[in-house]
Structure 1
Amino acid sequence: MTAPTDGPALTGTFDAVLFDLDGVLVDSEALAADVWVRTLAEHGLPLPLNDFAHLAVGQTFPNVLVRLSELHGWTPTDAFLPTLETRFNAAFDTLDAIEGARATLEALRRVGVPFAVGSNSER
């Protein structure tokens, strides 16, 4: 592999690179937690942001819902998940890449190293 002339210097040999999403390519955890907390409060479960973040980090949506039920006896209304999804889509439209992420992906593409995202995040 030849290092590109601009962007991050890539050395060594890679068959491919697998990236996590949150905290590596984008920083969406705080944004997601804020959407969750605001929507939960509107649906009968006010929680401090820190409490929610503690139970949700690294979890899937279904696991977060199970934990909310176990810890708080809360069950989502029929409107909860559609509202949450709409708000996530709107919030993530403005999500910026972490500094250097775009240049790294572009450098990998230039030298022909395939890459993908492996994440617990929703699509």
Structure 2
Amino acid sequence: MTARYCFRIATLALPLAVLAMAVSGPGIAAPTDAPAAPSSTGRTAAPRDTAAASDRAITAEVQARLASARTLDPGKIRVSTTDGVVKLEGTVRDDKQRTMAMELARSVRGVSAVSDELRAGTD
């Protein structure tokens, strides 16, 4: 290449580069750039307690806690859950056991209320 030819290329390339920068500018994204991702999905870090566990998981956890209580007979207590409301049915020996079963059920995450349908004593 001759010096004259290189000079012509340089004199043409410089204005084109300046023009390209002026059109796109530092704050304007090129048309091929992907749109920026949102900074937040709008979700909270932890779900609300009542929505955190399914009814099935709540029932299983209540049953496990009743089974781990040495003074209760979990075979005599039926547990069901609907929309976070735990229903305890069956028989317990006395009011102390009834209170214990209710407290164990209330302590499970996701439980919004406990329905006491336990009978004290044997029938």
TM-score (norm 1): 0.32
Q: Per chain length, whose mean CA-contact separation is higher, i.e. which structure has more relative contact order (CA < 8 Å, sep 6+)? A: 1
Tell which structure's C-alpha radius of gyration is larger.
Answer: 2
TM-score (norm 2): 0.32
**Structure with the larger strand share:** 2
